[in-house]
Amino acid sequence: MEELEQGLLMQPWAWLPLAENSLLVKAYITKQGYALLVSDLQQVWHEQVDASVVSQRAKELNKRLTAPPAAFLCHLDDLLRPLLKDTACPGKATFSCDRVDEAMILRVQSELSGLPFYWNFHCILANPSLVSQHLIRPLMGMSLALQCQGRELATLLRMKDLEIQDYQESGAVLSRDRLKTEPFEENSFLEQFMVEKLPEACHVGDGRPFVMHLQNLYVAVTRQEIQVRQEHQGTGDPQPSSTTSPQGTENQLLSQPEEPVSSAPSLPVTEKDPTGPSGPVKRPQLSKVKRKKLRGLFS
């Protein structure tokens, strides 16, 4: 299950609006199972299952559908991918959640070739190690990266001021007064930012700003941490191998996040032929039973 754990770590967070509240969700699905992480900014829940659990749960929830576990996993991937890729386009699935004691059940309802399809993610509270791995350490790494970016930008501004000063000493005159700026003073800028911009800038809300604006950096930081860990272990390949979820090889600070899994083929539901030859079922069947340039820190 190491592939699931590592694959989940490299996935971005998505914002999932529900009728009663909203959640942050990240998921990683392969043909062998899936891993899911859910948070309401108060607690974090987790589920990781293999194909045998998927097969049993599918039989309980979708009695009219017969398919191998890999087919159901591909269909779950089809349902979750629009959510994880674009929060503005949540797809056709309906999500709801129930909380029982310390557990959470995230329910998914959709259609598969005209028939209802149901799935329940049974999540338990994530252990502290998992929370640290997916939230605390990445957020600390992101803070350090943004601090470094801010220092680089401040240095660039000072160099620009020296360049402007050289132009002025050479007799250059600004043609439009409205473009005139004062020399950059880092300490004054930081003090003003703390007073005027900080309250709005650090407003977490329901987590959506974090999902909408910082997932490129989140994915880059988690990939970097995995690469460092693998180098310490003497592994030359910084990316996990997966037949269904190939990841790119870019490790730049602000690289675009990859899609969590590769596009899965459509899964048409066909009528089950009771007199057909025996063999593995490949598709769900109906039973006749009933380097980019770094952006500014404060842009």
Model confidence at 279, pLDDT cuts 50, 70, 90, reads very low
Which of 77-81, 194-198, 218-222, 238-242 is predicted least confidently? 238-242
> Residue 118 contacts by C-beta under 8 Å, 6 or more apart in sequence?
61, 62, 107, 108, 109
Question: What is the structure's pLDDT at 259?
Answer: 43
Q: 44 and 263 in contact (C-beta within 8 Å)?
A: no
Q: What is the pLDDT of residues 250-269, one digit of tens each?
A: 334 333 444 444 433 344 44
pTM of the predicted protein model = 0.71
What residues form DSSP beta bridges with 77? none
For residue 214, pLDDT over 80 is answered with yes
**Which amino acid, residue 1?**
M
Please determine, looking at this structure, whether the domain spanning 1-129 carries the CATH number 3.30.1360.70.
no
Which of 52-66, 70-84, 94-108 is predicted least confidently? 70-84
Q: What is the pLDDT of residues 4-18, one digit of tens each?
A: 998 999 999 999 988
Pairwise pLDDT comparison (266 vs 110), residue with the higher score: 110
- C-alpha distances (whole Å) from 75 to each of 5, 111, 267 are 21, 10, 7
Question: What is the structure's pLDDT at 222?
Answer: 94
**Strand extents, DSSP E, the chain:** 14-17, 22-30, 33-39, 44-50, 65-66, 94-100, 103-112, 115-125, 270-271, 285-286
Pick the CATH number of 135-232 from 2.60.40.1180, 2.70.50.60, 3.30.470.20, 1.10.287.450: 1.10.287.450
The domain segmentation of the chain, as residue ranges, is 1-129, 135-232
- Integer Cα distance of 90 and 41 in angstroms: 21
Residue 125 CB-density burial (10 A; 0-12 exposed, 13-18 middle, 19+ buried):
middle
Question: What is the structure's pLDDT at 90?
Answer: 53
